[in-house]
Amino acid sequence: MKRKNFIYYSLIIIYFLFILISFLIDFQPGKKMGMNFRINFIEMIKILPFTFILIGLFEVWVKKETVEKYLGVKSGFIGYILAILLGGTTIGPMIVSLPVAFTLFKKGAKLSIVFTYVGAAAVCRIPMTIFEVSYLGMKFTAIRYLVSIPLIIITSVFLGKYLEKRDYELIEEKL
């Protein structure tokens, strides 16, 4: 573990030194790399802290029974609708929806609904959709929604059933 950490931090330091030197000697690919890092880092750092605060508040305030009732084993079709709405209003890429999904599961949401949420958060985020429509047109987006949402629900149900049979548990690995 210690050794792994050492290698990890060394590589990070080498990476940033490389970027720094690239900017000093005007090395284009290295500068491009730095810009790429910056774009994604800023995008994430604007979203992640708030997401995790919301997750924290959710864990503290929302009762397990409530999640079980609306998203649990007995929730029925409404659960899937809620999962899609929740996914649609999630901001940011999959890095954001994964910890949310994990928290939902820990609070008693069933697996198929958790997977539906992750899928919906990937394909039908509302803010992103508005952007998409303006560049690619309504028809393109409509097709994407109408084909992907039913497929996401169907595959999530199967994946959920398959894993429940095997007593699957989500585990948050520690580094």
Contacts with other proteins, residue ranges (CB under 8 A): 8, 12, 15, 29, 32-34, 36-37, 39-41, 43-44, 46-57, 59-61, 91-95, 98-99, 101-102, 115, 118-119, 122-123, 125, 127-128, 131-132, 134-136, 139-140, 143-144, 147-148, 151-152, 155, 159, 163, 168, 170-175
119 touches 152 (CB < 8 A): yes
Residue 70 CB, shortest distance to other proteins, in Å, is 19
- Work out the end-to-end distance of the chain between its first and last CA atoms, rounded to an integer number of angstroms: 8
Residue 126 CB, shortest distance to other proteins, in Å, is 9
110 touches 103 (CB < 8 A): no
DSSP sequence for 20-64: HHHHHTT-HHHHHHHHHHHHHHHHHHHHHHHHHHHHHHHHHHS-H
Of 74 and 137, CB closest to other proteins: 137
Residue 123 CB, shortest distance to other proteins, in Å, is 5
